[in-house]
Structure 1
Amino acid sequence: MVGMPSSSRPVIAIIGAGPRGVSLLERLGANLPADAELDIHLVDDTQVGAGRIWRTEQPRELCMNTLADAVTLFTDDAASIAGPVRPGPTLYEWCQLARHAALDDAAEVVARIPAAHVSAFRRVPVRAGLVDDYRAELRDQRPESHPSRSLYGEYIAWCLAHARAALPAGVVVHEHLGRVQATRREAGREVLDLGDEQLVADAVVAATGWLARAVTAEERRILAAVDGHPDLVWVRPDSPADQTLDAVPDRATVIVRGLGMGFFDAMALLTVERGGVFVEDAETPTGLRYVPSGREPVLHVTSRRGVPFRAKTQYGSLPPRAPMHHLRGVDWTAVPRPIDFDARVWPLILRDAFAAYHATLARVKPGSVELDAALAAIRSAPLEADGAATRTRIDALADAVAPFVADAADRLDLAAAIFPGDGETWPSPAAFDAWVARFVADDLAEGARGADSALKAALWSIASARGMVSRIGAFGGFDAESRASGFRTLMTVGGMVGSGPPAFRSRQLLALMAAGLVRFIGPAGAVDVADGAFHASSPAVAGSGVSAAVLVDAWMHAHDLAQTADPLVRSLAAAGRVRPFAAPSRLEGDVDTGGFDVEPESGRIVHADGTVDDAFHVAGIPLDETMHDAIISPMPRTDPTMLRETDRVARSLIAAARAARTRSAS
């Protein structure tokens, strides 16, 4: 048994050593006194200092949909944290310093990076061979680049080394490659079962990232069908690097569910990773042509909306800060909880989107809009009526501003932009494919205009609202009815318009469509399995039925504490030590969510009886339904949710470990 503390030396265990676990270690070091004596155990089942999602051996073709200079694991002076601020380089800065230091011409690069970030970089060298391994990617990287996931994993691993080097001399870090199978309380300590060893700790945090979910009823039907027909292949929902896409036969017909980042990742792994090549070709509409290897399957794709997520706008820099004057103009701390999102918040988000559109239109096309009058109309349009549908509110804004935009072609059709294709039907799959191709091409054209696209300004305003709204609604800030209606709409729409693929992926999609390797089934495609095949069709597209021996689910399950398959969480549940967070309802009683219930100030889990655990904490993605904004990587100078969380959880871990040792000593 490891981790047995001495009479005075506390022990802390961090389960999960990806970005959040590494941040927790850094925050522990920042908050510990210089004379601290402590043992810290890092446990990860894939790679300590990268984790499963960002492990460094995954295919380089898989990339982040976050920009290189918008990723950090360090705090800065915008952070509202109780612990000390310890700045360090963003991913982009780290890449530039690593590359140019190796080339011995770092002076010019150093001059463009904050001195504190350079100083932090110089404390710990990058691993030997890193620059050679990533030479081309480092050479081509810009602040607005989309780094490979493996390169981000290398950055996390360096951040781990940096965090370890900054710890007080009396703190010892132990690394464990394994999975925690269960936990129990014994003699006032936490006993973690890793299978071949047991780890004893005074305080624990589970920063496990995406948790496995129990098989659903639909999945049981699919599994039964696959078991009975060996030619059927089902690739289950998961991170693309973990999906069994190698099981998809060459040249197979494949049904794919999902059109977010998971789809674009699967698309890349089933084409470029099978030997195909994209080549520049000025004679094609997007300047790109795909040369197949002959191994590629043909992908027939569907989703609830039926269209791909919109591509990232090409600003040539980091995205601008969305003004959001209406949303930011409210002192939300003074608004009583729970808040009716639909009545109080959603109207302000829509006003901000219209304001962003018309301000941009006035700048890029002078004389096209009477801006002052349009903005006044946007402010005064009646939108707060209880029960008003999103489309009704959008129509009210459009009607209010229409008299001040002379050309109807310049008017914002926000409903069409955020609900593309809703209510439409198509006479054939070819017609729908052509419609999708136009949608993607038009979106790319708008994105290429960067800050001069009025439409993208409106959509960016909506996408940007998610961060602020998540803070407003954290820990029951919104009632259950709001969470099921307007708040869910915002998160869905915001994801589609703001968390989509890099523009180059949308160009690749059009090239693959032109090559006949990607086709679209239609919206709300229903998938069934019968007679030895998967079948999919869309009620909106005539003749859209497709049968295939392969089904790929290109998405990941949402977290649900009640449906988890994670053995550690199941052991906590069996002992009555966890419960789902319940959102307040306008009706009688509260409504359970899928997230963990935790004490907001500390991250300590709340037991089934409502008491707070002494030692066990949860941080990160499994709290998304509780805290919100738990998935997004920390961005510099934004006071990110993740770094505020890791700081307060680290401080609680220190306090809990000390209290446990005090109790043990007495």
Structure 2
Amino acid sequence: MSTAPTLVVIGGGPRGTGVIERIAANALELYGDLPLDIHLVDPYPAGGGRIWRPDQSPLLWMNSMAEDVTMFTDETVELAGPVVAGPALHAWAEDVRAGRVTPDAEPAVLAEIRGLTGQDFPSRRLQSAYLRWTYERALAALPPSITVHEHRTTALSVTGPRGSRQRVRLKDRTEPLLADLVVLTVGHLDAEQEPEQAELSDFAARHGLIHLPPDFTADTDLTALPAGEPVIVRGFGLAFIDLMVLLTEGRGGRHENGVYVPSGREPVLYVGSRRGVPYHSKIGYTWTGERPPLPRYLTPAWADELLSRPGPLDFRRDVWPLVAKELGHAHYHRLFTAHPGRTTLDPEVFDAKYAAADPGSPELADLVAGAVPDPADRLDLDALDRPLDGVTYESGEALQEGLRDYITADLTRRHDPDHSTDLAVFLGLLSAYAQLIRLGDIGNWWHGFFSYLASGPPGPRLEQLLALSRAGVVRFLGGSVTVEADEERGVFRASAATVPGEHIEARALVEARLPDPSLRHTASPLLRTLYEGGAAVTDTGLLSVDPGDSRIVDREGRPHPRRFALGPFTTARNSGAFTRPRTGGPAFRQNDAAARAALTFLRDLSCSGRIAS
């Protein structure tokens, strides 16, 4: 039996891959040539994991352009370990075409790679091949003394005292893995149904209806949704876009020159949400010129001061005002430097007065109104967040035309560099996200707002949405949507504040969103046992981790010496396991800190001779 220390990484998707890449990068400095066994546990192929697995529909795209995706660090990432450069997705595709890289991919994916440009939105299957190659490159970079063992199964529990080896119980294996240290990188979680969802499912079962609760769209069985029948869809984000594609092109329809040609097998999707509009289109141009200096107000010192305050933080009171000012700084810096003809004040004077004004104050509003004559050039975050608030239409047909106009205007603006202030705000959002991670669980609103503005669908998807609307396959419900279960009629009924007095009845309801990442409602036995075993969670159910190195924190506030966790189910969740090149990559920083802490712990354990047999 090996006497080498044992590290178990649970989750082989991009986050687990990133941790192994950072172990390889830091091993020479921190671990030398000491032996180490790494056990990687995931029922799906390592690299992509579940979400980015290769066996999914080729119709499903990434919502980022190929040039905006990387798994590798650069000099913008704040990390203690070494930067190890690597290709972004589009550059990797160039390497494949040049014969410098030979990926393990299906012929259809190789064909897609041959035609890929930096401005294309790749399929998720192509991203899976990139992630698999990244994983294999990380394995090759490990010292010969470090061995990785893959277990294509599910981890069911982690138990064991704080001061000794952990026991990782696996499905389909009698004996547990014994681990000196465990890192959880399990990604998005399945969940048990919330009370409202359980009631809707019970109602559907009693009346022979269809209710699809929150889930990963690619994993949802959509065959029960009948052709030609109305389906109420609650949720207008990226999960809806996937649903839309799978129920239209996935059923044989096709898009031809802006017109949707139906197959006749599509249902009719009645879609609405709180906002009532889709996420904003991805920006369709690249940055030129001077970048806004970020962070300006959301500095580490600001975060330190907030964290030093007694009691819990209130996001709207303590955090949002300065976030809004930071986003305004990015917006107006770009307006004054790239579009000075649309301003009336010296930029240095404006900047000084903007810095001196309190967030959200009348003085700040007066300054902007005087310096930026056109209201369309001013940043109105409230209007961006809820564009249909206070807006009503006389009829459902009027709403269809109104939302088509709204989506068309959004597409036009997001592809017009004359509105490059939008891209500056996007950069401000990325910078703000990196700072807000330090604050822990700040509630769900911020993450939803970030996704709505910064992580929307590709422009071509919204063009397809417009075509489907014109074809009558998609119908818009509006904002502040409510869904009722009518026991007497045995149907679901949806209405929206945007069209008072109108409603739609349907025998099918789809919740187009991911399950909430709450340990209190998780369907994962692994995370449930952690919660029941004393791991601390926040009010929203996120797993508490140490912001420095991602060690799991217990309910007494103690970081566990042998358990780490990274990902969207933790208080250090961020916008993704991979990122745009040269944008700081907060996930990479977290991976590096966790890898260095793990290697240091395992080195000290090995050198002290305290490895259990």
Q: TM-score, normalised by structure 1?
A: 0.83
Indicate the SS of the match to 1:621.
coil
- Cα distance in 2 between the residues matched to 1:652 and 1:637: 25
Q: Give the counterpart of 1:452 among 418, 424, 431.
A: 418
1:276 aligned to 2:253? yes
Is the contact between residue 470 and residue 628 of structure 1 (CA under 8 Å) also seen in structure 2? Answer: no
Q: Give the counterpart of 1:516 among 472, 486, 499.
A: 472
- Cα distance in 1 between the residues matched to 2:201 and 2:386: 33
Distance 1:46 1:273, change over 3 A: same
- Cα distance in 1 between the residues matched to 2:104 and 2:497: 56
Is the contact between residue 184 and residue 190 of structure 1 (CA under 8 Å) also seen in structure 2? Answer: yes
Is the contact between residue 44 and residue 53 of structure 2 (CA under 8 Å) also seen in structure 1? Answer: yes
1:235 aligned to 2:212? yes
Distance 1:568 1:344, change over 3 A: closer
Indicate the SS of the match to 1:634.
coil
Is the contact between residue 9 and residue 41 of structure 2 (CA under 8 Å) also seen in structure 1? Answer: yes
1:153 aligned to 2:128? yes
Is the contact between residue 259 and residue 301 of structure 1 (CA under 8 Å) also seen in structure 2? Answer: yes
**Pairing 1:133-282 to 2, within 5 Å after superposition:** 133-185=108-160, 188-197=164-173, 198-230=176-208, 232-280=209-257
Is the contact between residue 302 and residue 521 of structure 1 (CA under 8 Å) also seen in structure 2? Answer: yes
Higher mean alpha-carbon deviation, 52-61 vs 533-542, is at 533-542
Name structure 1 gaps, 5 residues minimum: 102-121, 281-287, 385-392, 582-591
Quote the offset at 1:329 in angstroms.
Answer: 7.6
Distance 1:195 1:352, change over 3 A: closer
1:498 aligned to 2:465? no
Quote the offset at 1:526 in angstroms.
Answer: 0.9
- Cα distance in 2 between the residues matched to 1:332 and 1:409: 31
Is the contact between residue 13 and residue 201 of structure 1 (CA under 8 Å) also seen in structure 2? Answer: yes
Is the contact between residue 291 and residue 334 of structure 2 (CA under 8 Å) also seen in structure 1? Answer: no
Q: Give the counterpart of 1:98 among 96, 99, 108.
A: 96
1:11 aligned to 2:6? yes
Quote the offset at 1:21 in angstroms.
Answer: 0.7
1:585 corresponds in structure 2 to: none
Distance 1:340 1:552, change over 3 A: closer
Q: Which amino acid aligns with 2:401?
A: A
2:33 corresponds in structure 1 to: 35
1:24 aligned to 2:25? no
- Cα distance in 2 between the residues matched to 1:642 and 1:514: 41
Q: Which amino acid aligns with 2:13?
A: G
- Cα distance in 2 between the residues matched to 1:407 and 1:604: 50
Give the superposed CA RMSD.
Answer: 2.9
- The sequence identity of aligned pairs, in percent, is 36
**Pairing 1:5-84 to 2, within 5 Å after superposition:** 6=2, 8-33=3-28, 34-84=32-82
- Cα distance in 1 between the residues matched to 2:300 and 2:560: 36
Distance 1:620 1:644, change over 3 A: same
Is the contact between residue 531 and residue 537 of structure 2 (CA under 8 Å) also seen in structure 1? Answer: no
- Cα distance in 2 between the residues matched to 1:650 and 1:599: 14
Is the contact between residue 327 and residue 428 of structure 2 (CA under 8 Å) also seen in structure 1? Answer: no
1:633 aligned to 2:599? no
- Cα distance in 2 between the residues matched to 1:410 and 1:219: 42
Is the contact between residue 59 and residue 123 of structure 2 (CA under 8 Å) also seen in structure 1? Answer: yes
Distance 1:323 1:506, change over 3 A: farther
- Cα distance in 1 between the residues matched to 2:427 and 2:508: 37
Is the contact between residue 535 and residue 546 of structure 1 (CA under 8 Å) also seen in structure 2? Answer: yes
Distance 1:79 1:41, change over 3 A: same
Quote the offset at 1:321 in angstroms.
Answer: 4.6
Is the contact between residue 77 and residue 584 of structure 2 (CA under 8 Å) also seen in structure 1? Answer: yes
1:438 corresponds in structure 2 to: 405
- Cα distance in 2 between the residues matched to 1:320 and 1:46: 43
Quote the offset at 1:83 in angstroms.
Answer: 2.1
1:293 corresponds in structure 2 to: 263
Distance 1:320 1:541, change over 3 A: farther
Is the contact between residue 156 and residue 171 of structure 2 (CA under 8 Å) also seen in structure 1? Answer: yes
Quote the offset at 1:448 in angstroms.
Answer: 2.2
- Cα distance in 2 between the residues matched to 1:618 and 1:270: 36
- Cα distance in 2 between the residues matched to 1:410 and 1:476: 31
1:85 corresponds in structure 2 to: 83
Name structure 2 gaps, 5 residues minimum: none
Is the contact between residue 109 and residue 125 of structure 2 (CA under 8 Å) also seen in structure 1? Answer: no
Q: Which amino acid aligns with 1:370?
A: T
Q: TM-score, normalised by structure 2?
A: 0.89
Is the contact between residue 264 and residue 505 of structure 1 (CA under 8 Å) also seen in structure 2? Answer: yes
1:620 corresponds in structure 2 to: 567
Quote the offset at 1:241 in angstroms.
Answer: 1.0
- Cα distance in 1 between the residues matched to 2:167 and 2:494: 48
Higher mean alpha-carbon deviation, 369-378 vs 74-83, is at 369-378
Residue by residue over 1:485-533, the C-alpha shift from the partner in whole angstroms, topping out at 9 and shown as x without a partner, is xxx6554333222211110011111110000011111211111223332
